[in-house]
Amino acid sequence: MKANDRIQPAEHIKSISEYYFSTKLAEVAKMNAEGKNVISLGVGSPDQPPSDETIEALIETAKRPDVHAYQPYTGIPELREAFARWYKKCYGVDLETEEILPLIGSKEGILHISMAFLNIGDGVLVPNPGYPTYTSVSALLRAKIIPYDLLENDNWQPDFDALEKMDLSNVKLMWVNYPNMPTGANATPELFERLVAFGKKHNIVICHDNPYSFILNDKPLSILSVEGAKDICIELNSLSKSHNMSGWRMGMLASNNEFVKWVLKAKSNIDSGQFKPMQLAAVAALSNKPEWHRSMNRLYAERRVWAEKIMDVAGCKYDKSQTGLFVWGKMNETESSSAEFVDEILQHARVFITPGFIFGSNGERYVRISLGAPTEKLKEACGRIAKYMSERNR
């Protein structure tokens, strides 16, 4: 049934599109239903389960009669304490439990932070390329989106000289993300120090999105390790990638107590907390033995070899020092666009990879491959693409 033509969606809904993966994965699902057997290397969702201890904690606590009611909006104390221990152990950062707010995944946090800080028309510095949700959430709140360039020649780090030349008078937030998605570039302590100084100089809240610290990365970093960072920074983190819990939607943010309270005002009016057994399972996950994480990284390292081979046969160049759950590669100059190249690979080789244009104009000449698929699938995808490219180039 067609909607009443006189009824229109809100202007902020008109200004955004349905999330790329929402529509593209529906297309892939349709192809699979038709028996086309597409190998999906698009979404960064781990395919392995969480640790045994995590799953056992969920099972055992879910049997209890006292865990099925609404939970505190700030998360249970045990979870906030576990996040604090995790930050101390892994990042060397001291956090009080009042400086931590559990989230239903860190993607939710992007919305809640934006709601807490942005008035209509306020400026938001968004990386180009960058996670599309930074832009779409800002558009939903009718903020002024101000892209800033990340370029391969600068190791995908902000150009502070260029930033200083911008009109920053109305900018409230700046989104940053290292290890970077989609490029795999890592941060340095020096970069974080410059970001903190930049935020303090211009009274801009630096929002660091940090879900990829532990994947193929020997030196996890937190922007909150910089002295005075909590005064101006908010850090998002997540168990989705690092602990194989993407569907569990377990994330958190950390900052000074006042910022956390402001975000809680927004969050507490939207959701009613998380299922207590899942929170207790997250506590168990945060105590995973180091060997569990090492075993996952051995698996990802093996897969990365094949993801790089796919880049090779597709004629793409890439940086071997990348970290995180993806391989990011630059297409051959003869290719017309990332969207057309990806669709061509999908239709002819039956392999779905991600086009870089969805991350911004600076991603247009790039494609991304996820490591969230078994090695056997990556090998098969490599063979399919190699066969197609060979036929195509005859």
Q: In sequence order, which residues have a C-beta less than 8 Å from that of residue 304 and are 6 or more positions away?
A: 216, 327, 371
Positions of the chain with pLDDT under 70: 1-3
pLDDT at position 2 is: 66
**CA gap 46, 244 in Å, rounded:** 5
pLDDT value at residue 9: 85
Q: Please report the pLDDT score of residue 1 as a whole number.
A: 56
Q: How far is residue 14's CA from residue 149's CA, in Å, rounded to a whole number? A: 26
Domain 11-49+291-392: CATH class, spelled out: alpha beta
Asked if 352 contacts 341 with a C-beta cutoff of 8 angstroms, the reply is no
* Residue-level pLDDT at 56: 97
Q: What is the dihedral of CA 182, 186, 190, 194, to 10 degrees?
A: 10
The CATH class that applies to domain 52-285 reads alpha beta
Q: What pTM was computed for the model?
A: 0.93
Domain ranges of the chain: 11-49+291-392, 52-285
354 bridge partner residues: 368
Altogether, the residues listed in the chain come to a count of: 394
Distance of alpha carbon 256 from alpha carbon 238, whole angstroms = 18
Can you give the pLDDT at residue 6? 84
Residue-level pLDDT at 327 = 97
Instruction: Name the token pair of 184.
Output: 């795999």
Q: Is the peptide bond before 158 cis (omega within 30 degrees of 0)?
A: no
Distance CA 316, CA 332 (A): 6
